[in-house]
Structure 1
Amino acid sequence: MKCINIASIPGDGIGREVVPQAERVLKAVAEVHGGLDFQFRSFPWSCEYYLEHGVMMPEDGLEQLKPHDAIFLGAVGNQHLVPDHISLWGLLIQIRREFEQSINMRPAKQLAGIQSPLLNPKDFDLVVIRENSEGEYSSIGGRIHQNEDEVAIQNAVFTRKGTERPMRYAFELAAKRRGHVTSATKSNGIVYSMPFWDQVFEEVSQEYPSIKTDSQHIDALAAFFVTKPAAFDVIVASNLFGDILTDIGAAIMGSIGIAPAANINVNGKYPSMFEPVHGSAPDIVGKGLANPIGQIWTAKMMLDHFGEAELGTYLLDAIESVTAKGIVTADLGGSYSTEDVTNAIIEEVKRKS
């Protein structure tokens, strides 16, 4: 029996609703297929925790998380209670940085039964590999002077090591998919970091002669995500560009509520973290409207991460069997509750066994 110990951080808002539902699904997968045992330990860290303790997580929070095999995160943030820069940097980003989760992976595909807002999406199935540790989100810079003389400086940091990592990950992934990697750049407007990005991409691509490549400027690439998403396989992008592209990917799927993400530690020193792309959505908390698919899809990505790709595919097939029947939440035009959709996925998991 393979036991996987998971640290669950439901976090804020609907995170507290979708994380327990995804845990139910994982337990059902383990029960039906055997050989796996999931053990969950829940941590109450959130904006409410901050209001009570003055921190998003305790001083030894990372040490508490470190022994686990993976982290299951629901949502972080409630700007009505805590400013976003405090909540995110105090929990989500701190975990990403300190646990060296240098790769952010976000798939987007047309799910059966879900109407894309695109007129002809052509069954797109793509994955964005986003650099997750530096780039445009580097916390280097500052502000000086006041009033009309005030100046704000934000520095983007691109190291060779940090740039090569997501590129190699993207090429390795493409070798298992359709064999094509697209690089997101903007070297016609950003004069130092993006030409460097292009240079490293060209050098890394030489190590993978069987993989086809192309490079697209981010503004054109964002447009192509809308006009021809089926043309893409794996896209590698910097921190900011990847963040933007993946929200477009969620939108063309039909709802940000179904979009998953994985924050991958590639050296094995620390646990990786799996989270949906959606936020805490305080406006729908407690109404049974939260879409659990984004969180459940992250469970599929976690199974893949642990070498259980067959079970991961099995779970995604179960999700699509449910969406194909029209069993979806209100964000996708349905009338089913969070629990209804989860129950249907669990029934499908058991039926397929």
Structure 2
Amino acid sequence: MNPTPRSYRLGILLGDGIGPEIVPAAVEVMDAAVVAAGAAPIEWVPLPLGAAAIETHGSALPAATLETLGELDGWLLGPHDSAAYPEPHRSELNPSGAIRKHFDLYANIRPARSFDDRGTDLVVVRENTEGFYADRNTFAGTGEYMPTKDVAIAMGVFTRPAIERIAREAFELARRRRRHLTVVHKANVLRVSTGMFLAICREIAADYPEVEVDDFHIDAMTVHLVRRAADFDVVVTENMFGDILSDLAGELAGSLGIAPSVNASAERAMAQAAHGSAPDIAGRDLANPTAMIGSGGMLLDWLGRRCDDPAASKAAQLVDDALFATIRAGVSTRDLGGTAGTAEFGSAVAKAIASA
């Protein structure tokens, strides 16, 4: 007798701009994938967030939303347009940052894989809780201050526990892929901070003798990515360097519109496309949902590994395969040279799964 399939409760946070268009496309595809994989249907839990939540709840991230997220297995987060929020909401930590910080989602995993013959297929593993970004490195406040009107100071924080856990995340991923890990740093100048990052990654490498390890300075790494992105497999680095490199890698793969990501801890994961809310095309059925669909597939993969659930892992592979099959068959949105609308593309991917 086959065991009862594991069921999951996943949150839906539509966000702003194109979020209400691309998130439902991801939901449609994920639903098709779990059915095809023989998994239990997903229980979706819609939750308010963003500009709409400001109007209905007086907060871009209502307390009830944050509380409910803690009860779920994971969630899909659409892009937000916090720069357009009215004050005081605009000056507060944006919704995705607040969620990431609240749940200590320390690993930002950002693949960059081309759908054509560019040859790019790598993953940037970005430490997500400290480093040089001000909102990530203090318990309270932003980590930036001005002692006088003419002096601005920003602190960067690097700690052994945070470096060790992101290094292990990256090595585990490299072991599942092509067994090649690249550490990116600036230890020739930032000798104490990124020097410690490099040194600890090298220490952790002793536990993964099957993984080839090299390292590059951040400035050199940008050149290497442009010249020979196909030579890289998994890249691990601190948060600001990771943000820059993953955007660059996404463009080298074809577009940020195809760049998925998850923000994860050992207990929870948040699927979130790497791109923004694109308010200029919102509501026009023009947005490319590829990145959001791919992020949903990554969430299924994370659930499959965390819960030792082959059905979820199979569903994740079905999402990945169907995305590639659909685009290679000539069905794509306008940014990739096609004619499909957002909803049409999502439905085409779901149909590709059903007919696989």
TM-score, normalised relative to structure 1: 0.91
Deviations 1:219-275 (A, max 9, x none): 111111111011101100100011011101110121111110001111x2xx31111
Q: CA 1:272–1:154 in structure 2 vs 1: closer, same or farther (change >3 Å)? A: same
Equivalent residues of 1:74, 1:275 under 8 A apart: yes
Do residues 273 (structure 1) and 276 (structure 2) align? no
Q: CA 1:312–1:129 in structure 2 vs 1: closer, same or farther (change >3 Å)? A: same
Equivalent residues of 1:263, 1:274 under 8 A apart: yes
Amino acid at match of 2:36: V
Do residues 97 (structure 1) and 101 (structure 2) align? yes
Structure 2 equivalent of residue 134 of structure 1: 130
Structure 2 equivalent of residue 72 of structure 1: 76
Deviations 1:149-189 (A, max 9, x none): x2111100001001111111111111111111000111122
Structure 1 equivalent of residue 195 of structure 2: 195
Do residues 282 (structure 1) and 275 (structure 2) align? no
Structure 2 equivalent of residue 47 of structure 1: 51
Q: CA 1:169–1:327 in structure 2 vs 1: closer, same or farther (change >3 Å)? A: same
How many Å separate the matches in 1 of 2:39 and 2:56? 41
Amino acid at match of 2:262: A
Structure 2 equivalent of residue 164 of structure 1: 164
Q: CA 1:152–1:83 in structure 2 vs 1: closer, same or farther (change >3 Å)? A: farther
How many Å separate the matches in 1 of 2:174 and 2:89? 34
Q: CA 1:187–1:249 in structure 2 vs 1: closer, same or farther (change >3 Å)? A: same
2:272 counterpart SS class: strand
Do residues 264 (structure 1) and 268 (structure 2) align? no
Do residues 328 (structure 1) and 336 (structure 2) align? no
Q: Point out the more displaced range, 336-345 or 75-84.
A: 75-84
Q: Which has the higher strand share?
A: 1
Q: How far did residue 88 of structure 1 move?
A: 7.4
Equivalent residues, number: 338
Do residues 184 (structure 1) and 184 (structure 2) align? yes
Do residues 106 (structure 1) and 102 (structure 2) align? no
**Candidates 60, 63, 67, aligned match of 2:67:** 63
Q: CA 1:344–1:335 in structure 2 vs 1: closer, same or farther (change >3 Å)? A: same
Equivalent residues of 2:14, 2:77 under 8 A apart: yes
Unaligned runs of 5+ in 2: 305-311
Equivalent residues of 2:48, 2:62 under 8 A apart: no
How many Å separate the matches in 1 of 2:189 and 2:329? 47
How many Å separate the matches in 1 of 2:200 and 2:89? 31
Deviations 1:256-304 (A, max 9, x none): 11110001111x2xx3111101110000011111001111101110111
Equivalent residues of 2:286, 2:333 under 8 A apart: yes
TM-score, normalised relative to structure 2: 0.90
Give the ranges of 4+ consecutive aligned residues of structure 1 lying more than 3 Å apart after TM superposition. 51-54, 80-88
**Candidates 7, 15, 18, aligned match of 1:14:** 18
How many Å separate the matches in 2 of 1:103 and 1:239? 9
Q: How far did residue 205 of structure 1 move?
A: 1.2
Identical columns (%) = 35
Unaligned runs of 5+ in 1: 116-120
Equivalent residues of 2:33, 2:316 under 8 A apart: no
How many Å separate the matches in 2 of 1:262 and 1:233? 17
How many Å separate the matches in 1 of 2:269 and 2:333? 29
Equivalent residues of 1:110, 1:125 under 8 A apart: yes
Equivalent residues of 2:47, 2:65 under 8 A apart: no
Deviations 1:62-108 (A, max 9, x none): 21211010011010115233479947724111111110111110111
How many Å separate the matches in 2 of 1:47 and 1:154? 29
Q: CA 1:183–1:85 in structure 2 vs 1: closer, same or farther (change >3 Å)? A: farther
Equivalent residues of 2:18, 2:282 under 8 A apart: yes
